[in-house]
Amino acid sequence: MSELTDSEVKAAILSLLEKKGRWGAHYFPLDTMINWLGRKVKRNGKRVDRCIEDLAKEGYILLHKRGNTASLNPSRRQEIVALIRRATGT
């Protein structure tokens, strides 16, 4: 299991939300996302949770339902897609 950088963790979060089609009001539970990504990332949920908070501050994701769910910010769609493509190398 290799150690992912914070930017790779953020790209994995954005990629997961994009694959699930979670844009705008169509949100995804954070608990489920942290559990899924915690298997790939060392220091499991705490690091994923911190990266989610960073993405929300940067405006890439929107938090809903008192911060228990998240979705991608549709007004930054092009930036998000470009960031995912750059991180995955496709």
Per-residue pLDDT tens listing for the chain (90 residues)? 457 788 888 998 999 999 999 999 899 999 888 888 877 776 667 888 889 999 999 999 999 998 899 999 999 999 999 998 888 776
Distance CA 43, CA 84 (A): 23
Looking at residue 37, what is its pLDDT? Answer: 83
Looking at residue 75, what is its pLDDT? Answer: 95
pTM higher than 0.85: yes
Query: What DSSP string describes the chain?
Result: -PPPPHHHHHHHHHHHHHHTT-BTT--EEHHHHHHHHHTTSTTHHHHHHHHHHHHHHHTSEEEETTTTEEEE-GGGHHHHHHHHHHHHT-
Structural domains of the chain, ranges and CATH numbers in brackets: 6-88 (1.10.10.10)
